[in-house]
């Protein structure tokens, strides 16, 4: 049953996504449209209820005008920070 240590990744990614979206004054609906996904899915991502695949990540990055790698980097940094608590 591996990966108990990665349990919070979705929550952290949700925070990151919401922050990037807010900074750009995009609505969930507009982001969803640009990224080619459903609005309710964005809502679930931001709340950490769902997790993106790498394809979705690239779509979100393109929609936000930021490399997907940057979203992952921010998520990873926050995750490492919380992991060492």
Among residues 25 and 53, whose Cβ is nearest to its own copies?
53
> What is the DSSP-derived secondary structure letter of residue 6?
G
24 binds, among DNA, its own copies, none (CB under 5 to 8 A by kind): none
In order, the DSSP letters of 20-51 are HHHHTT--HHHHHHHHTS-HHHHHHHHTTSS-
Q: Which residues bind its own copies (CB under 8 A)?
A: 2-3, 6, 9-10, 13, 35-37, 51-55, 57-59, 61, 67-70, 72-73, 75-76, 79
Cα 25 from Cα 46, distance rounded (Å)? 15
Phi and psi at 37, nearest 5°, equal: -125, 175
Q: Between residues 28 and 75, which has the closer beta carbon with respect to DNA?
A: 28
23 binds, among DNA, its own copies, none (CB under 5 to 8 A by kind): none
**Contacted entry of DNA, its own copies, none for residue 6, CB cut-off 5 to 8 Å set by kind:** its own copies
């Amino acid at each position: 049953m591996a990966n108990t240590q990665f349990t919070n990744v979705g929550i952290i990614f949700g925070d990151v996504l919401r922050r990037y979206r807010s900074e750009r004054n995009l609505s969930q609906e507009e982001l969803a449209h640009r990224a080619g996904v459903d609005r309710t899915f964005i809502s679930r991502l931001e709340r950490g209820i769902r997790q993106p695949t790498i394809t979705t990540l690239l779509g979100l990055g393109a929609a936000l005008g930021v490399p997907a790698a940057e979203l992952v980097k921010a998520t990873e940094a926050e995750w490492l920070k919380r992991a060492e608590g």
